[in-house]
Structure 1
Amino acid sequence: MKFAAEFAAEVAANRKSSRITGGYNSAGESAAAQSLGVCYGIVANNLPPVVEVIDLFKTNGIARMRIYNPNQATLEALRGSNIELAIGVSNEDIQSIANDISSATSWVQINIINYANDVIFRYIIVGNEISHNDPTSQFVLRAMQNIYGALGNLQNQIKISTTIQLSLLGSSYPPSQGEFSPDAIPYITPIVNFLASNGAPLLANVYPYFAYISDQKDISLEYATFTQQGYTDIGYQNLFDAMLDALYAAILKTGASDLQIVVSESGWPSAGGEGATTENAAAYYTNLINHVNSGNGTPMRPGQPIETYLFAMFDENLKPGAASEQYFGLFTPDKSQKYNIASIN
């Protein structure tokens, strides 16, 4: 996906705090502005015990967590924590859950109902970044429907969704002209309709970093990291908003005018690739948090909170792919905070 050079960026307030988010106020109640969570990936062999990880979330005021599969040790450690959880159905489990209602019922019983009295489940995410041309795509909607049916009286408490990449877009500039590619429309439209009918958001992984490194001629580092002054001629201050609004425009074209988007991943690596430095990552995370916290929304959805999950809690030394994939952590495996990141409060 390519974004044009006309995009410009704002200078975000550079507030510093030892806390990453301020998920709860002094009275212990959920803060009205709470919009941030952190993804807890475990593709590593040097991470701290999960009980220590939950404590790290709590001591840093991180009130929401995303995990990618129903890891039982994590679920046990979350009991009584008051951390809201987005839990993933692994891509490899989707076909069996789609084809066998008893499989969906068993998954829900083992991973949700067994913990529902002590763990706050926010989302069940059926699949991560499944493309329309992936053979698994034909099973995603049915798996979502079966999981939803298996929830029973929890249907109004836990939202079922899936996470997409913005590569499903065939057009993204200007953002108002965003639309899904013709090949993606038959896949995504029924999913959008299901979400809209159940009051659930669509989740999307939004990475200005990858857009930047794929087209440095047309996309400036300052625009990608929220650190360039000025608006574009079409009213945008940063690449993150432009990417999000291109997706909103695409969803609107499917007829789902009120569907919300949750940013299920966004981050910047501190090493391992072009533009991947501690300085750039610190700027991105700090300014993204400030932007989400501002409550300004995007030009297409002004004044609406942008629920966002920062990627990720730790560097993950076994992540495959580009070297930069191993350096998205907010913390190092010894639990040291890599950046002085702004608080949400």
Structure 2
Amino acid sequence: MSCTVNRFFSSISTLRLLWALLVILVITLDFTDAQTGVCYGRLGDNLPSPAEVVALCNQNNIRRMRIYDPDQATLRALAGSNIELTLGVPNPDLQSIAASQSNANTWIQNNVRNHPNVRFRYIAVGNEVSPLRGDTSRYVNFVLPALRNIRAAVSSAGLGNQIRVSTSIETGVLGTSFPPADGAFRSDVNSYLRPITDFLVSTGAPLLVNVYPYFSYIGNKAQIDLQYALFNSDGIVVPGGIRYQNLFYAIVDAMYAALEKSGAETLEIVVSETGWPSAGGDTTTVDFARTYNTNLVRRVRDGTPKRPGRAIETYIFGLFDENQKSPEFEKNFGLFFPNRQPKYPISF
């Protein structure tokens, strides 16, 4: 009898161990293999329907998506899809949302609560708003109050533990980016960014950052090797003795260093856009785009020298070529042609 009981409890212990290992495996797979999503822009007059887009993502194991406005047809198509969504609050909506909590509550009701079967991950309140940009500087005073009101609306809806509220910035706010450890924000954006990063730290949300080694490379070809920008080099040793294998890591770590200097050392970065155009401009070919994006999917799993072993949640721009954008190279960031055929092989 004693032996039987011992065997029984031994079996239970073994099952518990196997279950724990299975849980760890599932968590690990989710953290690494599902780390890369896509940005779904719709500035084209020849794009497939939202239902076809969701089906395409499912067929290609794309489990995360970013959209830039609450398009109702897209939200309906995503219902029940298990695709995690970053939903954008367009810049022109910021003033209204910043003006009153009621407006923010209505926005969340119409675009989030009315779609209970969509898996919302983040709400991006504004995109690339900066005092340095003539096209977005008029929205600067609205970002922080809009963030607060959208966050309060999400919490009031009982979704505060499910949806994190942030904003998306671009790397032009860096005044110093090399070496990465010296990364620092420009003095003329500090007063704008510091309250925002303080708010994100207090709410546990990440900072969304659009990171484009392509633009860094074409703006500084004399100092940056193309293969370094494409993840294809052995890397460089920067002052301080740290080896950086690619430009993407260096830019992300410069942003981390800038955040540390601003008192936001605990803030995580989500790369909310990155990509390489395949035509229409300087150093734009299908082969360069394929090389960058396929290497990116592999490299974001590893983490940067500043955050080793911590995968970088990243969104590739974009899903389709968009023929209504300009200049010409902006039309050619797509992973897929508008007819849903892949431009080149890529595995998610």
Question: In the alignment, residue 57 of structure 1 is paired with which amino acid?
Answer: C
Question: In the alignment, residue 73 of structure 1 is paired with which amino acid?
Answer: A
Match of 2:250, SS state, is helix
Counterpart of 1:144 in structure 2 is 147
Counterpart of 1:284 in structure 2 is 292
Counterpart of 1:215 in structure 2 is 220
1:318 equivalent in alignment to 2:324: yes
Counterpart of 1:123 in structure 2 is 122
Question: In the alignment, residue 245 of structure 1 is paired with which amino acid?
Answer: D
- Segments of 5+ residues of structure 1 without an aligned counterpart are 1-25
Contact 1:132 1:168 (8 Å CA) reproduced: no
Match of 1:217, SS state, is coil
Between stretches 224-233 and 60-69, larger displacement belongs to 224-233
1:303 equivalent in alignment to 2:302: no
CA distance in 2, matches of 1:250, 1:76: 39
Shift of 1:227: 1.1
Following superposition of structure 1 onto structure 2, how do residues 1-345 of structure 1 map, counting pairs within 5 Å?
31-33=30-32, 34-115=34-115, 117-133=116-132, 134-151=137-154, 152=156, 153-233=158-238, 234-293=242-301, 296-320=302-326, 322-341=327-346, 343-344=347-348
Shift of 1:215: 1.1
Counterpart of 1:6 in structure 2 is none
Shift of 1:230: 3.8
Question: In the alignment, residue 101 of structure 1 is paired with which amino acid?
Answer: Q
CA distance in 2, matches of 1:32, 1:259: 18
- TM (normalized to structure 1)? 0.89
Contact 2:57 2:63 (8 Å CA) reproduced: yes
Contact 2:31 2:311 (8 Å CA) reproduced: no
Question: In the alignment, residue 67 of structure 2 is paired with which amino acid?
Answer: I
Contact 2:166 2:208 (8 Å CA) reproduced: yes
Deviations 1:236-257 (A, max 9, x none): 1100000000000000011111
Shift of 1:229: 2.3
Question: In the alignment, residue 148 of structure 1 is paired with which amino acid?
Answer: R
Determine which structure has the larger helix proportion and give its number: 2
Contact 1:226 1:238 (8 Å CA) reproduced: yes
Match of 1:329, SS state, is coil
Match of 2:94, SS state, is helix
Question: In the alignment, residue 318 of structure 2 is paired with which amino acid?
Answer: A
Match of 1:306, SS state, is coil
Shift of 1:310: 0.4
Structure showing greater radius of gyration is: 2
Moved over 3 A (4+): none
Question: In the alignment, residue 136 of structure 1 is paired with which amino acid?
Answer: Y
CA distance in 1, matches of 2:190, 2:49: 42
CA distance in 1, matches of 2:311, 2:95: 34
- Decide whether aligned partners of structure 1 residues 147 and 30 sit closer, same or farther in structure 2, where only a CA change above 3 A counts: farther
Deviations 1:191-247 (A, max 9, x none): 001101111000000000011111111111111101122432431110000000000
Match of 2:169, SS state, is strand
Shift of 1:94: 0.2
- Segments of 5+ residues of structure 2 without an aligned counterpart are 1-24
Shift of 1:30: 6.7
CA distance in 2, matches of 1:335, 1:260: 33
Question: In the alignment, residue 121 of structure 2 is paired with which amino acid?
Answer: R
Deviations 1:16-40 (A, max 9, x none): xxxxxxxxxx99x973312110000
Question: In the alignment, residue 135 of structure 1 is paired with which amino acid?
Answer: R
CA distance in 1, matches of 2:187, 2:51: 46
Sequence identity (%): 52
Question: In the alignment, residue 99 of structure 1 is paired with which amino acid?
Answer: A
Q: CA RMSD in A?
A: 1.6
Match of 1:185, SS state, is helix
Deviations 1:72-97 (A, max 9, x none): 00000011000000000000000110
Question: In the alignment, residue 201 of structure 1 is paired with which amino acid?
Answer: P
CA distance in 1, matches of 2:293, 2:31: 21
Between stretches 228-237 and 192-201, larger displacement belongs to 228-237
